[in-house]
Structure 1
């Protein structure tokens, strides 16, 4: 056979059998035109793959386990946000909250722009010189995000007039995206941002488009399997006896925190006199995959939804800064139910799976006053539920005068398949301790071993008197019933069994408030049926508790002996509890011994701090007076 090339598109093949014309490809045939290809870190390994296909699958959707994530960039890396105006007066709450790094079009902070989630275009080396590209966020997400393009001069905000040049597209373009806010209401914005790349090759060729879906990192709250990294507390200024006692509490707290291995210094709130550091804020966090897939992100302080609680402004004035953001919702009602909006009424169950539902970052619990239909502020519940990760579970705290879940339940790290246990206040165990002491001939022993003073006389009741008190018996029977009902909800929702419940001895007593001549409400503690006015100093510094008014015919209680479950988990095996000041028999405090035994069985070592005068008499304990920043290095997208 002889093959002869002919002009045009054929060759002549001559064989013994004759000749035939065969189609042939022209010598100048071009490759298929390049297509736009935009990539993001879909597999969350901390890098954007533009050479392989690891970030291709699933780029058009998003789940908690796969899909690109970006941060709401609401910290203040350069501390440029002010708390006062040009006139030196404090900024209004709304204006104070609006300032953050996403409030301008600059990339603030470090040169590596760590708060930006990266996107990249796959290089298109064959593009002609006249090619151009555009990039934008489409849909609702455009209102809540900002795109940047990285150029030789640095990061530049993308606008409707931004064009990507042919040279940039040939080399591949690096982009960054930030959120301008957290997700607040999924009905308004669910956190989705769809980024679109459009490339026009020029020369009359058809433009091509590619899109990738990203999602705002969910705002999450801490649970006790996350190691404590820093402790927060209010430190009062002044020189009266109560202030000195409170500062001594802070000093002791500092010692105990270091002893537990938490090395960072205490964060001390010194502005104002709100001693309830647990209540006016809730520490949260947002993270995305950083280099090597290790989570990186920022802490986000959530201000309580209490309009008259000025201490909450400190989340912006003191805490907001580099890698620390802060948010507030529409501040709430300011009525008799506002105690439910304190953040001591928000705790988090550690990660679990049960009944076909998974909570890899844990699940929030909050208290509601079910008897009369009061719930925490709707704006706060909407914010928390809209994250799509920690769906708040409401427990009934109608029976508590303060009404916070931290008064009767907590979650402890445990060396078990689940990884945690529930610790629950047990009034029946508390009453049993007293009955056993009486049976052993110690009924005449004083109930409280705390030493009194000139302004704060020591309680005088004995074990016999406590057991003879109908009010105490009824109050603790009520508490036991209500706690048992809440525990059943927790067991049903989580799958926890009785073997995973740590029962901690406790006692409760009814509390009340009385109207004074000046119209102010005075908290009172009930002891043996007699109402005892809380000392003036405790009223002055503890007034922000906003105690609930009981519904007609109902009884509300608070801790009679300092509530041991209302303490602080400082480590996997370290727990800080309020000093019990219980009856001392044979040289030992019987409540302290029982609390030690309960936590020891759970693998925890207990230390104690005296909060009797400073917090307990104000119907709170050491947990109510402190807060914790916890480790955020574990990826919430893995379980």
Structure 2
């Protein structure tokens, strides 16, 4: 029941009033009583329940009740009216001799009004859920969910539906991306003259939502006057609420009826938007001609906009995406074989679209949005905007495939804004706190650095605002390219936490090479047979003190991140596998900048994960008994987890351009089975 609302009455007058079933009305009996009033009595129709406060004494129950300054009448209506003004309530006043001084009469029309949403998140809009006006996380939580309508029903002149001209529903199929909201009313065929229903939102909420209605009401049930029928086949959907129209009168249908509305989300949670949308339905009462109406009852529903969610390597792949260029035939051949073995589709972005830009991982990140009634993938377009900048919009945006981006000032964009620098962990539990959708990982400058590169603020703000995958900041500015995928990855595992974290480790690399040397393989060569690459022996690598010093620095940077990841992801050393990878330091593009690291040989941690099949950069390491020692070590470390290692030749087409297999590929994966709204927050 809603809080009591104060109602004004006048003696000597008859007032028509609409009362919403279930709401409580309060009348101060002294405020408008006739002069010299000392007593009062109350009469009402059977459907009107009333009480007096303070309660009268037992002796006065059968006689006029003493009136004082605090005398209050509370009343409610138990069921909807069949006719206008079919219930009455009267208050009669008396002087000290109990002489009649006059009475105030209310002619009451009772209506049931409920603005309803799917507050229990089962895909059904139930009637008058008591929790529809609030939000609670968790499996026993409540509150309706709203999707950002960021896909596009058009196949030409494309633009996300939430950016279409206000008031445009391009196709009926567009409605499935919106949340259903139902206005249910029950009462007489029409309201008393002057009363009306109005739907309204705040100016702040209007930036994030539009509301449409079915032009022809879909269903009206019978009342005492018989049955009314409306057309089920709706041709269009008028706009009701938007930032241009904060309120709109709503048709009262009469009888036992329902009117459907479709609520469209326009923007994702962000630093300036907490994701909550409130929609109100009010009954307005006329005062007199030329005077504005006043609200006498308001029902409110609350939506929370669904967050954008990333998918980790441990989820099943649906489709891998790579670019075709003039020089990556060997890479594409390996990717085709890997995708086929994995039962995964392979989408190729051809040169007319990529224009020579092969770094598909850096251009975009696949994710999705989810609600009880609809779910679809959404691509997050990076601020990088290389020659692939048109691909996410022109090739991916479409029906049931959404698009979102964040646009910073161009001066703010650095290599760290490419999405090789954006990863997500599998689900983890940290000190009792569960992250069932994993945690986002981003690379930034070292905390004490004032001149380092960072991921731009608008992207970081967006990622933090999604809440369900709380980000972790890692130190990646020590790398020339500066991406977290250059030193870490995740692979599925059958035990422990269900995954292993892979870390690049120069220490593991030197340990492997020292072992080869001690076993008499110091003359074995790296890069043997690689075109335009000078082979180098294991002995020469181990004798290069400068290279060793550089890798000691790199190991210290990775160890700093290792400690952060162990702490923030709740990992132990047994959850981590160190991969034998060496780096070297090179001067940055700006000659005045510090030295930064690149992989000395193909960076095997920079892999693609398709289920149990791994596409690993072919390292061209020293051969022992005809087999690459680095490949053998990788197989030894990973195949015990039931993983299959496939080594893909990316040396000329990617490695020498400072990237690897992961940089040149991207994967769209199945969503989590876990529903984000069931998280404990």
TM-score, normalised to structure 2, is 0.74
Partner of residue 199, structure 1: 283
- Would the alpha carbon gap of residues 101 and 206 (structure 1) be closer, same or farther in structure 2, given more than 3 Å must change? closer
Helix, strand or coil: the match of 1:122?
strand
Helix, strand or coil: the match of 2:206?
helix
Partner of residue 19, structure 2: none
Partner of residue 344, structure 1: 420
Helix, strand or coil: the match of 2:646?
strand
Partners of 2:207 and 2:352 in 1: how far apart? 38
Partner of residue 149, structure 2: 73
Partners of 1:134 and 1:477 in 2: how far apart? 69
Displacement of 1:341 in angstroms is: 0.9
Partner of residue 426, structure 1: 505
Partners of 2:200 and 2:677 in 1: how far apart? 27
8 Å CA contact 1:366–1:395 kept in 2: the answer is yes
Map 1:11-22 to 2 at 5 A.
none
Partner of residue 226, structure 1: 315
8 Å CA contact 2:607–2:614 kept in 1: the answer is yes
Displacement of 1:568 in angstroms is: 0.8
- Would the alpha carbon gap of residues 111 and 607 (structure 1) be closer, same or farther in structure 2, given more than 3 Å must change? same
Give runs of ≥4 in structure 1 deviating > 6 Å.
Answer: 20-23, 201-206
Partner of residue 363, structure 2: 280
Partner of residue 355, structure 1: 431
8 Å CA contact 2:162–2:265 kept in 1: the answer is no
Gaps of 5+ in 2: 1-42, 46-60, 65-85, 89-107, 217-233, 289-293
Partner of residue 530, structure 1: none
Partners of 1:269 and 1:348 in 2: how far apart? 29
Map 1:195-594 to 2 at 5 A.
195-200=279-284, 207-236=296-325, 243=326, 245-263=327-345, 265-268=347-350, 270-271=352-353, 272-290=355-373, 296-306=374-384, 309-334=386-411, 338-355=414-431, 357-370=433-446, 371=449, 372-416=451-495, 418-452=497-531, 457-512=532-587, 551-552=593-594, 555-571=595-611, 573-594=612-633
Partners of 1:81 and 1:399 in 2: how far apart? 43
Point out which structure has higher relative CO (alpha carbons under 8 A, 6+ apart): 1
Helix, strand or coil: the match of 1:403?
coil
Partners of 1:77 and 1:99 in 2: how far apart? 7
Displacement of 1:100 in angstroms is: 5.2
8 Å CA contact 2:361–2:419 kept in 1: the answer is yes
Decide which moves more: 254-263 or 97-106: 97-106
Displacement of 1:138 in angstroms is: 2.5
8 Å CA contact 2:309–2:367 kept in 1: the answer is yes
Displacement of 1:329 in angstroms is: 1.9
Partners of 2:529 and 2:429 in 1: how far apart? 44
- The correspondence for 1:147, drawn from 204, 207, 211, is 211
Helix, strand or coil: the match of 1:163?
strand
8 Å CA contact 1:138–1:196 kept in 2: the answer is no
Partners of 1:174 and 1:564 in 2: how far apart? 55
Displacement of 1:623 in angstroms is: 0.2
Partners of 2:248 and 2:178 in 1: how far apart? 19
Count residues with an aligned counterpart: 547
Displacement of 1:146 in angstroms is: 0.2
- Would the alpha carbon gap of residues 504 and 390 (structure 1) be closer, same or farther in structure 2, given more than 3 Å must change? same
Displacement of 1:469 in angstroms is: 0.7
Partners of 1:101 and 1:81 in 2: how far apart? 12
8 Å CA contact 1:62–1:213 kept in 2: the answer is no
- Would the alpha carbon gap of residues 507 and 168 (structure 1) be closer, same or farther in structure 2, given more than 3 Å must change? farther
Helix, strand or coil: the match of 1:34?
strand
Displacement of 1:345 in angstroms is: 0.6
Helix, strand or coil: the match of 2:542?
helix
Displacement of 1:618 in angstroms is: 1.0
Helix, strand or coil: the match of 2:630?
helix
Partners of 2:168 and 2:146 in 1: how far apart? 17
Map 1:21-32 to 2 at 5 A.
none
- Would the alpha carbon gap of residues 169 and 29 (structure 1) be closer, same or farther in structure 2, given more than 3 Å must change? closer
Partner of residue 273, structure 2: 189
Displacement of 1:347 in angstroms is: 0.5
- Would the alpha carbon gap of residues 219 and 316 (structure 1) be closer, same or farther in structure 2, given more than 3 Å must change? same
Gaps of 5+ in 1: 1-7, 11-19, 83-96, 237-242, 291-295, 514-546
Partner of residue 640, structure 2: 601
Displacement of 1:550 in angstroms is: 7.2
- The correspondence for 1:163, drawn from 249, 264, 268, is 249
8 Å CA contact 2:208–2:265 kept in 1: the answer is yes
Displacement of 1:210 in angstroms is: 0.4
CA RMSD of aligned residues (A): 3.0
Displacement of 1:297 in angstroms is: 2.7
Partner of residue 175, structure 1: 261
- Would the alpha carbon gap of residues 466 and 143 (structure 1) be closer, same or farther in structure 2, given more than 3 Å must change? same
1:111-170 superposed Cα distances (whole Å, 9 cap, x missing partner): 471111111223424564556322232241112210011232342210447433222684
1:526-570 superposed Cα distances (whole Å, 9 cap, x missing partner): xxxxxxxxxxxxxxxxxxxxx676744xx4211112111101111
TM-score, normalised to structure 1, is 0.79
Partner of residue 669, structure 2: 630
- Would the alpha carbon gap of residues 417 and 37 (structure 1) be closer, same or farther in structure 2, given more than 3 Å must change? farther
Map 1:9-88 to 2 at 5 A.
33-50=110-127, 55-57=129-131, 59-63=133-137, 66-82=142-158
Helix, strand or coil: the match of 1:37?
strand
Partner of residue 534, structure 1: none
8 Å CA contact 1:367–1:397 kept in 2: the answer is yes
Helix, strand or coil: the match of 1:146?
strand
8 Å CA contact 1:339–1:402 kept in 2: the answer is yes
- 1:119 matched to 2:184: no
Partner of residue 12, structure 2: none
Helix, strand or coil: the match of 1:556?
strand
- Would the alpha carbon gap of residues 9 and 334 (structure 1) be closer, same or farther in structure 2, given more than 3 Å must change? closer
